[in-house]
Amino acid sequence: MPVDKERILYLLGEIEKALSILEEFQQETKERILGDPKSLGAIKYYFVVAIEGCASVGNHNYFP
C-alpha cells in the first residue's frame, strides 16, 4: 500500500498542535496543575493525542 502523504501530514499536524498545547502547560506550576482536575485531564488528553498520532504515523500502511 502506498504512503498516504496527506494522512501523514494531517497526523503530524495533530501531533504538533497537541505538543504546542502541552508546551503552554509548562508555564504552570506543578501544584497548580495537580490542584486543577480540568488542567490535569487536558494534559493527559493531549499526551494521548500525541502518542496515538505517532502510532498512527508508524502504522498508517497497516490500518487505512
Domain boundaries defined on the chain: 5-59
Q: What is the pLDDT of residues 4-56, one digit of tens each?
A: 889 999 999 999 999 999 999 999 999 999 999 999 999 999 999 999 999 99
Among left, alpha and beta (phi > 0; psi -120 to 50; other), residue 27 is: alpha
Q: Are the beta carbons of 60 and 8 closer than 8 angstroms?
A: yes
pTM of the model: 0.83
d(CA 62, CA 64): 6
